[in-house]
Structure 1
Amino acid sequence: MDLDSQKIAKLLSECDSRFDLWIRLLDLHKARNMAEIGVWKGDFAERILMGCSQVEQYYMIDPWASLPDWNKPFNVAPAMFDEIYQEMLAKTDFASERRTILRGRTKDVVNDIPDGSLDFAYIDGDHTLRGITIDLIKILPKIREGGIIGGDDFTTTPWQHDTRYEPTLVCPYSVYFSEAMDLPIIALPHNQFLIKKERGANFSFLDVTGDYADISLNKLP
């Protein structure tokens, strides 16, 4: 995938949702094997599996369980998670032969995916500092050279929810992770990000939205 800023900007100008954005990017990337971390009700998986016929293997990683150490609004009661899991199954059943469900936390199930096998991974799970740290570190070895990592909730403020909950730190952590790994990262519309894994690459942070001039945490809730 060419990360030229003008080409990316042109492609993204025609996208009216994160679903449309990733369908177009995955078509451009010719992605066949991918994973999603944080599947929830299966909305993203359904749209990608419907819109990207070239995707042959879709790993779905999610505990679908109440977690005692996760302080976020989506940490609902066990009975609700059972309903959410069944809703996900129903939404993606049309592509059951293309999906592999890995029910558990990322660090506990990710090794069921072979190293270097994924063209793409999408992270939309635990957006706390702990969560995004574990997800990025654990998924990177599973991405092939030239593959990409994308993600949701790349927000310009850590206070995505009110102060009863842990802050959302997908941004700036994803940027600092990319810097540490010497990989390019792009801030995309609809609070999305994209990291490209490429041997010999250098870190760069391209903001095609103009919204990320200040990614510091010096912002009051």
Structure 2
Amino acid sequence: MTFDETAVRALAQAPTRMDLWVDFVQQQSIRTVVEVGVYRGAFAQRMLDDCPGIERYYLVDPWRHLDDWNKPANRKDAAFERFHAETLERTAAHADRRVVLRGKTLEVVDRIPDASLDLAYVDGDHTLRGVTVDLVSLYPKIREGGFLAGDDFCRTIFQHDRTFEPTLVFPFAVYFAEAVGARIYALPHRQFLMQKVTGGEHAFVDLAGGYRARTLGDQLARRTEPATAPAPTLLSRIAGRARRPRG
């Protein structure tokens, strides 16, 4: 498949995340896809509804509570059972094209043949551990010239409050692209895209704007701390009394 960078730049005008990927799948004649992190199946439904050229669509999700996943989307098992059923219902019209792989990435990835995917779309565990596992284990499954893409490519690692693990899709995906010699694009709607090309040259192309803090040091330095008034000192109390208007 050919990769027209001008066309990728045109994708940056897409009004929504789903519109962006529908346009891309149609543009690149994508036939085999894996989506990691299906949740309730809305993205899978849209891809299958609007992209009849897709011949096989793998849906990878554990649909269960994970004790070692400290993110807001981690729900109780009962909720995930409902989400699984909802996904099956949403994609029922395409049962002949979908392949449901219920499990974490490392539990099911061997069921996908090596070098078979045109597109791997990652929207699962965005912790450092999770994005590392997903990108490293999925890359061999992508064919030469195929694509690796994903969601929640946030400009800051602090996507949620401090009670949750940071989101490390950015900058980890940039460093991963460097390791494999891939050109990686930051797209609007917090998306990223890279192509698997042997002997390629790494570059980071920011088509969305604002991806400046690529090191963890920069990210931590830019972290906005909650405003906390310092404890008053004796000198500040004296100065405060001196500024009060006399009655």
**How far has the Cα of 1:9 moved from its partner?**
2.1
* Deviation digits for residues 111-169 of structure 1 (CA, Å, limit 9, x no counterpart): 10000000001000000000000000000000000000110000001111111000000
SS at match of 1:61: strand
> Radius of gyration: which is bigger?
2
TM-score by length of 1: 0.96
Aligned to 1:2: 3
- What count of residue pairs does the alignment treat as equivalent? 219
Rounded to whole Å, the distance in 2 between the matches of 1:161 and 1:125 is: 15
Q: How does 1:141-180 map to 2 (within 5 A)?
A: 141-180=140-179
Q: 1:100-111 counterparts in 2 under 5 A?
A: 100-111=99-110
- 1:3 Cα deviation (Å)? 4.6
Structure 2 matches for 1:25-104, cutoff 5 A?
Answer: 25-104=24-103
Unmatched 5+ stretches in structure 2? 225-247
User: What does 1:8-27 align with in structure 2 at a 5 Å threshold?
Assistant: 8-13=8-13, 15-27=14-26
Write the distance in 1 (CA, Å) between the matches of 2:126 and 2:11: 27
Counterpart position of 1:216:
215
Letter in 1 for 2:117: L
Gaps of 5+ in 1: none
Code of the aligned partner of 2:26: D
Shift of 1:61: 0.4
User: Considering only aligned residues, what root-mean-square deviation do their CA atoms show, in Å?
Assistant: 1.1
Report Cα offsets for 1:81-126 as digits up to 9, x if no partner. 1111111111111111100010001011001000000000100000
Give the secondary structure class of the aligned counterpart of 1:161: coil
CA distance in 1, matches of 2:142, 2:191: 18
4+ residue runs over 4 A deviation: none
Alpha-carbon distance, 1:211 to partner: 1.8
Amino acid at match of 1:48: M
Q: Compared with structure 1, are the counterparts of its residues 177 and 3 closer, same or farther at alpha carbon in structure 2 (3 Å cutoff)?
A: farther
TM-score for the superposition, normalised by structure 2: 0.86
Match of 2:231 in 1: none
Q: CA deviation at 1:20?
A: 0.5
Q: 1:38 to 1:183 in 2, by over 3 A?
A: same
Whole-Å Cα distance in 2 between the matches of residues 10 and 108 of structure 1? 37
